[in-house]
C-alpha cells in the first residue's frame, strides 16, 4: 500500500513540474500586456499632438498670406496618417484682415474618442488642441 501511495505522489510531483513557469508566464502577460499597450497609446498620443502643433504652425503661415488654412490643415493631417474628419479648424483674424500686420489665429482641435487601443479611455484626454498666431503679411 505504501508503495502505491508513494508511486502516485511521485507521478503527481512529475505532473506539476513546469506549472510555476506557466503560472509566472500567465501572470506576467497580464501585467506586461497593459503596460505595453499603454506605452503604444501614449506614443500615438504624443505623435498626434506633435502633428497637430506643426499643422497649426503651417496653417497660420498659409492664413497670414491669404491662403486656405483649413484646407492645408486637413491635407497635412491626412498625410500624417490621422483622420481629417476628426479635425476642427478655426481661423480668426482682425475685422480688417486685409491690412498687413494684423493678427491671424488658427486653432485646431482633434477628437480622440476611440483613439486608444486599450480599453483605458479613462486615462486618455477627449481631444487635443493646438493654437498658433501670426501677423498678416
pLDDT at residue 132, as a whole number: 96
Which residues neighbour 9 within 8 Å (Cβ) at sequence distance 6 or greater? none
Residue-level pLDDT, tens digit, the chain, 137 residues: 677 767 766 765 666 666 778 888 888 888 888 888 888 888 888 999 999 999 999 999 999 998 899 999 999 999 999 999 999 999 998 777 667 888 999 999 999 877 766 666 666 778 899 999 999 87
pLDDT at residue 4, as a whole number: 76
pLDDT at residue 46, as a whole number: 92
pLDDT at residue 122, as a whole number: 66
47 three-class SS: helix
pTM to 2 decimal places: 0.74
The CA–CA distances, whole Å, from 28 to 24, 25, 38, 129 equal: 6, 5, 15, 37
Distance of CA 24 to the CA centre of its chain: 31
And the C-alpha cell for 25?
A: 508566464
Give the sheet arrangement for strand 127-135, strand by strand.
Answer: 87-93, 103-111, 127-135
129 three-class SS: strand
pLDDT at residue 50, as a whole number: 97
pLDDT at residue 125, as a whole number: 78
Sign of CA dihedral 43, 48, 51, 53: negative
pLDDT at residue 131, as a whole number: 96
Amino acid at each position: 500500500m505504501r508503495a502505491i501511495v508513494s508511486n502516485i505522489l511521485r507521478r503527481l510531483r512529475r505532473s506539476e513540474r513546469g506549472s510555476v513557469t506557466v503560472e509566472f508566464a500567465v501572470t506576467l502577460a497580464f501585467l506586461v500586456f497593459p503596460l505595453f499597450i499603454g506605452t503604444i497609446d501614449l506614443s500615438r498620443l504624443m505623435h498626434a499632438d506633435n502633428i497637430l502643433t506643426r499643422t497649426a504652425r503651417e496653417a497660420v503661415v498659409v492664413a497670414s498670406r491669404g491662403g486656405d488654412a483649413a484646407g492645408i490643415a486637413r491635407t497635412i493631417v491626412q498625410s500624417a496618417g490621422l483622420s481629417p474628419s476628426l479635425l476642427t479648424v478655426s481661423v480668426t483674424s482682425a475685422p480688417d484682415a486685409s491690412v498687413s500686420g494684423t493678427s491671424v489665429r488658427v486653432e485646431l482641435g482633434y477628437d480622440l474618442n476611440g483613439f486608444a487601443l486599450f480599453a483605458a479611455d479613462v486615462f486618455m484626454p477627449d481631444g487635443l488642441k493646438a493654437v498658433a498666431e501670426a501677423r498678416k503679411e
